[in-house]
Structure 1
């Protein structure tokens, strides 16, 4: 039984998600459809890229991932079918797979050319569904498109390191359901540049000089509960995906607020890390 995942910026108010699922079931009666997310910010490619990167590898090899974000066909926004890391991805060539393809090279990329069957201006419904059905039936990618050597990359996806190697300039690429801020600075990059030096993480007027490995590590559980600093505790950590995250312990965006609201941060805002000039080596 094939697995097809859906990721989009469609939301749930409109009929779009249901229409795509109905079309898939009309093509293939025996399949499993999994919603990854339909709450991607409208046309926000980087946000979608982060979600896809952290979701796809949890599915079995051979799964098919439909990505309906900024998917309208245009001369500068062609449609792709990609085989990468044992998975199939169907999306627009707008850089949405940059985070994955920067680490794992696609085995096959085709530019879809079956658009003579388009009936509406809803390509996920008219094109992506047909391509997914073709793959599920055992069809090859070459039948529905022409091979191309590479995909488009998102510009400025990587953080910037200055010439002195004492500063990393990143930005906000995602805000999660709890209002926590995710940057494009990875733990690997932080370790490579930091080399054990002291540092200050700055975002607007908020500073951090320590990074935790989990949310609860920031709490001193040896103290009685009434004496602990829990509510409103500001912290920086490397999240389960290995990205630097700024958070409020047990925040609730709908009541007490969140890192995004309390720090005044939005998507694309700058986050910087400044390291001291001299390296301190252990020993």
Structure 2
């Protein structure tokens, strides 16, 4: 059974996500549709990339991923279908592919050219669904587009190291549903620069001198519960499941104890520094 995933900024209030699913089932009843996320911030390409890059690898090879972010067809925003890492991606040529493919070269890229055969003012619903169902039936990319090499590139924010090799400067690239703050500093980058040295992570007025492996690793469970320091709301840094340094609050809740983003005053692209001793 073919798998088609959906990653969009449609939200949950409107009919858009449901309509896309209905259109897929109208063409293929023997298909599995998986919602990766419909809560991407509107038109936020970097946020969508973080979500899809860390989700798609868990799906079987051959899965088809529709990305409905900034997808309206314009002369400057054509549509692409891509085979990458034995998966298929359908998205707009707005720079999103350049970030998804930053580490793995696509096997094939085509610019979708079936628009004259499909009447639409909702391209994800009509064009992207048609392409996804074509691929799900075993169709080839060449049938729905012309092969291209050049795509739109956008700058990917990378952490930097100073000339003395004792400071990393990174940025916030994602804020999750709990308010936890994900940086663009990977474990590998941190370890290559740090080489085991002591360090201090600084984010505005908040600092950290250790990095945990999990959220609960920050809690000393050898101490009786009633004798531990306050757990909910405890600040911590950790290597998250995607392999990046994340600044978090233990059992955060944006409606009660708050989250790292609100408590630390951090937002997208804010600077994070790590100083080594």
- TM-score, normalised relative to structure 2: 0.95
**Per-residue deviation at 1:153?**
3.4
Q: Which residue does the alignment assign to 1:38?
A: 38
Q: Which residue does the alignment assign to 2:114?
A: 114
Flag the 1:9–1:240 CA change in 2: closer, same or farther, 3 A.
same
Native 8 Å contact 2:99 2:156 kept in 1: no
Corresponding position: 1:161 with 2:152: no
Native 8 Å contact 1:49 1:98 kept in 2: no
Q: Which residue does the alignment assign to 2:49?
A: 49
Q: Which residue does the alignment assign to 1:144?
A: 144
Flag the 1:211–1:72 CA change in 2: closer, same or farther, 3 A.
same
Gaps of 5+ in 2: none
Indicate the larger mover: 200-209 or 158-167: 158-167
Corresponding position: 1:227 with 2:227: yes
Flag the 1:75–1:161 CA change in 2: closer, same or farther, 3 A.
farther
Indicate the larger mover: 37-46 or 192-201: 192-201
Gaps of 5+ in 1: 277-283
Native 8 Å contact 2:174 2:182 kept in 1: yes
- Show structure 1 runs of 4+ deviating over 4 A: none
Quote the RMSD (CA, aligned, Å). 1.4
Q: CA deviation digits over 1:90-136, x for unaligned, max 9?
A: 01122324444122211111111112134233110121011111111
Flag the 1:121–1:167 CA change in 2: closer, same or farther, 3 A.
farther
Flag the 1:213–1:128 CA change in 2: closer, same or farther, 3 A.
same
**Per-residue deviation at 1:237?**
0.5
- TM-score, normalised relative to structure 1: 0.93
Q: Which residue does the alignment assign to 2:244?
A: 243
Which whole-Å CA distance do the structure 1 matches of 2:119 and 2:168 have between them?
Answer: 48
Which whole-Å CA distance do the structure 2 matches of 1:99 and 1:185 have between them?
Answer: 16
Q: Where do residues 13-32 of structure 1 align in structure 2 (5 Å cutoff)? A: 13-32=13-32
Which whole-Å CA distance do the structure 1 matches of 2:151 and 2:114 have between them?
Answer: 19
Q: Where do residues 1-283 of structure 1 align in structure 2 (5 Å cutoff)? A: 1-229=1-229, 230-276=231-277
Which whole-Å CA distance do the structure 2 matches of 1:119 and 1:271 have between them?
Answer: 47
What secondary structure, in the 3-state scheme, does the structure 2 residue paired with 1:23 have?
A: helix
